Amino acid sequence: MSRSCKAALLASAVGALLAWTAPALADGFANVGRPATPAEIKAWDIDVGPDFAGLPKGSGTVSRGMEIWEEKCASCHGTFGESNSVFNPLVGGTTAEDIKTGHVAALKRTDFPARTTFMKVATVSTLYDYIRRAMPWNAPKSLSDDDVYAVLAYLLNLAEIVPDDYTLTDATIRDVQKRMPNRDGMTTAHALWPGPDFPGMAAKPDTANAACMTNCKPKAELASQLPEHARGAHGNIAEQNRLIGPVRGQRTGPDTAAAEAPSPALALAEQSGCLSCHAVDTRVVGPSYSEIAARYRGKNSNETADALVSKVKAGGDGAWGAVPMPPQDDLSIDDAKTLVAWILSGAPQK
Amino acid sequence: MSNLRPTGEATPRTDPLVPGADISSADIRAGRLRRAPENFLTADDIRQVGKGRRDFLRSSFLAAAAATGAAALGGRAAIAATTVAGDGDPNILTPTPWGSSLGLPVAANPYGQPSKHERALVRRQSPGLTQVPAASVSFAPLQGLFGIITPSGLHFERHHQGWQDIDPTRHRLMVNGARPDFVKTPKVYTMDDIMRLPPVSRMHFIECGANTGMEWGNVAVPTVQYTHGMLSCSEFTGVPLRTLLEDCGADLKAAKFVLAEGGDGSSMTRTIPIELVLSGEVMVAYGQNGEMLRPENGYPLRLVVPGVQGVSWAKWLRRIEVGDRPYATKDEAVHYIDLMPDGQHRQYTSIQECKSVITSPSGGQTLLDKGYFTISGLAWSGRGAVKRVDVSTDGGMNWSQATLQTPVLSKCLTRFTLAWNWDGRPALLQSRATDETGFVQPAYGQLRAVRGTRSIYHNNAIQTWQVAESGDVNNVQIL
């Protein structure tokens, strides 16, 4: 067979292989995944959209909401949803005028101290959806659909959007939407979404710096610096940087490493060469210190300690296997006592 | 800070880093970090050490460490220091403990841990930022990281209702439609199913939309860990979401948006741009840096939405819904909305625009000495690959083009470097990234001119680190 014939056959074989494998892939991924049952979809598909798609039927009153609130919500959010001790405040900062205009006026003020949930949220569906899926904080999804209506009714009452005797239902929630204080407070006129899917989306980013390289401005003026009192607010930065390399961290607070200094006995063990053959938790050549502590636990401590000090000094074999422990002539009796006491106490690292 | 630099009498010596240089006069100049052990050993002491008095050295530096705080993390910093006195460096002339003893056995740490000497580099919280640690942030220690991959244990954390360690055998992913006609066969996948599908592995950055959010109005925090540490980068392994949607028979023409939902307590939801699903970029990921995702990062399954802020990368992913309108979920209607000066909030802001930051040297650090340094930092863009990075040492008056380390990948961190000889005078370090769309990272003044100072989210302004004559590096802002 000629070389060109071989090449042609090879090419057709490759072509046939591709032609053969492609239909198999076109069949999809056989036996991967299975159809979801209607009950499964119902259990998990709990999202409620801004058009109220997915909103369950139900209702709840402001007064019922207050009962649930005081039992399950007030401890974190405060009695009136105003607390900022655990989370940011939910209620406050909106006015009757905002309910008319659909824009929360306080959001234009740079001196306004907080931004509450009701100052920001444009869609009441968001609140129903989120309370149902995520609240209470420590027992999410434990509220019934009606309880969610009731809690939301109470919140809307705190925000002075609905009256005290209001009943929130899957029907009346549409009226509430028309009274949300910041309902027209959102804009999609920006370029931070990767498609043209929203009204007014900008085609270009809103900043346009240029890559100037030389003499770009006459001088560099500092607009802001870290206040001196804030330098230590994040602990000792020296302990947040590596011990080696071209830089060190600045010392901005007390050393915590001193408090975590290793046990002097551990240092003594290292200095005396004990750790060549022993480790605290792992058998190396000799037994681990944990093993030794375990063997002598509950025995007369003074006798045990004295016997072990002698063994450490004189060395020996047989107690833990065939490898002998050499005599420790350079180790003082006092150091040996320190080490033995430390080993019998479990060889703590600190 | 001044107490980091001992004020003892300068001892003439030769700097081993600069052959032949006599730096005795330079020792007393501010900005020089004098290195142990000469901080606390006299020449006599050092000669004794040179004769083999090992235990003497130990007790000396332990005492000195306690006294000066210079070796803040223990005596080992002092051991590693450089000195040439007497016959030479005791670290060479006398046996080291590690060079004269038996080491630990294999599998002493079945899952390996960093050296104990690296314990400074950990995730940390910013005091006062949040009221509750289960709805909070921990920041990655960018000041000590190399290259572009974030070690999985140092990946920043942002949890909205605490983190869970989900039993992977009981985890399920459901794909369904907002209307029945959007998905022909709504399906349930086990992890077995998902891990059978053809995998892809890709490196991407993830940045919280609120990264650098504390700095919108003024300098607020001291170090790059807190200014920029809600940023990480991993190799993710998983299945393109598009593959799953096609497997379920989703109507990809009717689909305009996708909802992603977590399986944790908050079952957090976000509207995902269909453009990034159709492009194949959005992944359902189970792998992170060669192993499974960490629980804090969504084990066993999370969404990866390259270029988009981290809140969209739903962790513990349990459900995908195909829809035709956005969902106005809590984290796109109450939080993660950007307040503009006119009182309107920008909604559905998602892309993390081109940004960069110098990580070494950076805020809270002190330069060891004057002379040679490598300025090193990270650049990234949610719109694609980084094209170039420029670095200024004079606060933006003049710039030099930095070197980009390979790989330079789309929607991935890129490491840049620039050689720098610090002459000991004050400097203002900045970096400015440009991405493949031609977008140039803005200065603070430019960003505030359009967005004010109350946006919280999407602060991609040029960061400035001020280098003082002392060598201290501090966080400042230039408009």
Interatomic CA distance for residues B418 and A94, integer angstroms: 51
Residues linked to residue B418 through DSSP beta bridges, in sequence order: B375
Between B5 and A255, the more confident residue is: A255
The H or E element containing residue A6 is helix A3-26
Tens digits of per-residue pLDDT, B433-442? Answer: 999 999 999 9
Tokens of B402: 């930095």
Residue B268: Cβ-neighbour burial (10 angstroms; 0-12, 13-18, 19+): buried
Q: What per-residue confidence (pLDDT) applies to B455?
A: 96
Average pLDDT of chain B is 87
pLDDT tens digits for range B408-443: 999 999 999 999 999 999 999 999 999 999 999 999
Q: What residue in A sits closest to B322 (Cα-Cα)?
A: A45
What is the 8-class DSSP label of residue A205?
Answer: -
User: Between B91 and A261, whose confidence is greater?
Assistant: B91
**Count: domains in chain A:** 2
Neighbours of A222 (CB within 10 A): 14
pLDDT at B20 over 60: no
What's the average model confidence in pLDDT over A152-161? 98
- Mean pLDDT (chain A, rounded): 88
Place A27 in a pLDDT band, splitting at 50, 70 and 90: confident
Q: Looking at CA atoms only, how far is residue A59 from chain B in angstroms? A: 21
Length of chain A: 350
Q: SS3 sequence, B1-15?
A: CHHHCCCCCCCCCEC
A168 with A268, same domain: the answer is no
DSSP conformation class of B293:
P
Joined tokens for residue B202? 């890709």
Q: What string of DSSP letters covers B350-363? A: -B---EEEEEES-T
Q: Which residues of B touch A243 (CB under 8 A)?
A: 71, 73, 76-77, 80, 117, 120
Q: Terminus-to-terminus CA distance in chain B, angstroms?
A: 27
Query: Counting one residue from A and one from B, how many pairs have CB atoms under 8 Å apart?
Result: 378
The beta-carbon neighbor of B4 closest among A221, A251, A271 is A251
B19: preceding bond cis by omega (within 30 degrees): no
The tokens describing A217, both together, are 């401005």
Could you tell me if A24 lies within 8 Å of chain B, comparing CB atoms?
no
Residues of chain B with CATH 3.90.420.10: 136-346
Q: Please, which pLDDT band fits residue A19 given cuts at 50, 70 and 90?
A: very low
pLDDT, position A260:
62
**A217 is a domain residue:** no
Residue B112 neighbours by CB under 8 Å, 6+ apart: none
Q: What pLDDT score does A269 carry?
A: 85
A153, part of any domain: yes
* CATH class of domain segment(s) B136-346: alpha beta
- So what's the pLDDT on residue A273? 78
- A177, A212, A238 — which closes off a domain? A177
> What residue of A is the nearest CA neighbor of B64?
A258
Q: How far is B240 from chain A (nearest CA, A)?
A: 14
Residue A10, in any domain of the structure: no
CATH number for the domain that contains residue A280: 1.10.760.10
Q: Is A191 on the interface with B (CB under 8 A)?
A: yes
User: Is A350 within a domain?
Assistant: no
pLDDT at B390 over 90: yes
Least confident of A12-26, A180-194, B113-127: A12-26
pLDDT band at B267 (very low <50, low <70, confident <90, very high): very high
Inside any domain, residue A233: no
Domain encompassing residue A272: 264-344
Residue of B nearest to A54 (CA): B178
Structure confidence at residue B33 (pLDDT): 52
Mean of pLDDT values over A20-48: 82
Task: Decide: A141 and A131 in contact? Cβ < 8 Å.
Answer: no
A239 touches chain B (CB under 8 A): yes
CB–CB contact B69 A255 (8 Å): yes
- pLDDT for residue B77 is more than 50: no
Does the distance separating the beta carbons of A44 and B343 come in below 8 Å? no
Q: Which residues belong to CATH 2.60.40.650 in chain B?
A: 355-476
pLDDT tier for residue A312 given thresholds of 50, 70 and 90: confident
- In chain B, the percentage of residues whose pLDDT exceeds 90 is 80
Q: Is residue A156 included in any domain, yes or no?
A: yes
Q: Closest Cα of chain A to B290: distance in Å?
A: 23
Q: CB-CB: which of A130, A193, A277 is closest to B330?
A: A130
Residues A313-349: tens digit of each pLDDT? 888 877 787 778 888 888 888 988 889 888 888 888 7
- For residue A318, the model assigns a pLDDT of 74
Region A283-292: what's the mean pLDDT? 83
Q: Which residue has the higher pLDDT, B449 or A274?
A: B449
B477–A206 CB contact, under 8 Å: no
What tens digit of pLDDT does each residue of B147-156 get?
999 999 999 9
- Whether B477 has a pLDDT exceeding 90, the answer reads yes
Which one has a higher pLDDT value, B203 or A262?
Answer: B203
Secondary structure (3-state) at A289:
helix
Q: What is the pLDDT of residue A324?
A: 80
State the DSSP H helix or E strand holding residue B404, giving kind and residue range, or none if neither: strand B403-404
| H or E segment to which residue A235 belongs | none
Lowest mean pLDDT among A117-126, A334-343, B276-285, B423-432: A334-343
Question: Contact B142/B225 with Cβ under 8 angstroms?
Answer: yes
According to the model, what pLDDT value does residue A326 have?
Answer: 80
Helix, strand or coil, per DSSP, at residue B417 = strand
Whether the predicted pLDDT of B171 surpasses 60: yes
Q: Is residue A14 part of a domain?
A: no
Q: Which residue has the higher pLDDT, B42 or A289?
A: A289
Cβ contacts (< 8 Å) between A216 and chain B: which residues?
396-399
pLDDT of residue A259: 61
pLDDT of the residue at A261:
65
- How far apart, in whole angstroms, are the C-alpha atoms of residue B7 and residue B345? 54
Cβ pair B346, A192 in contact under 8 A:
yes
Q: Which of A177, A211, A236 is the last residue of a domain?
A: A177
Shortest CA distance to A156 belongs to which of A136, A179, A133, A140? A179
The neighbour count for residue B203, using CB atoms within 10 Å, is 18
Contact A276 B328 (CB under 8 A): no
The lowest-confidence range among A85-89, A111-115, B66-70 is B66-70
Contact call for B102 and A206, based on CB within 8 A: no
- pLDDT tens, residue by residue, B40-70: 344 444 444 344 433 333 343 344 444 343 3
Domain B355-476: which topology?
A: Immunoglobulin-like (2.60.40)
Searching chain A, which residue's CA lies closest to the CA of residue B101?
A276
Half-sphere exposure of B418 (CA within 13 A, CB side): 24
Expressed in percent and rounded to 5, the helix, strand and coil fractions of chain B are 20, 30, 50
Q: Is residue A303 part of a domain?
A: yes
Residues of A in contact with B273 (CB under 8 A): 193-195, 197
A226 touches chain B (CB under 8 A): yes
Q: Would you state the pLDDT for residue A257?
A: 65
> Which one is predicted more confidently, B135 or B67?
B135
Alpha helices in B175-317 (DSSP H): 191-196, 224-228, 241-247, 274-278
CA distances B30 to A73, A252, B2, Å, are: 57, 18, 9
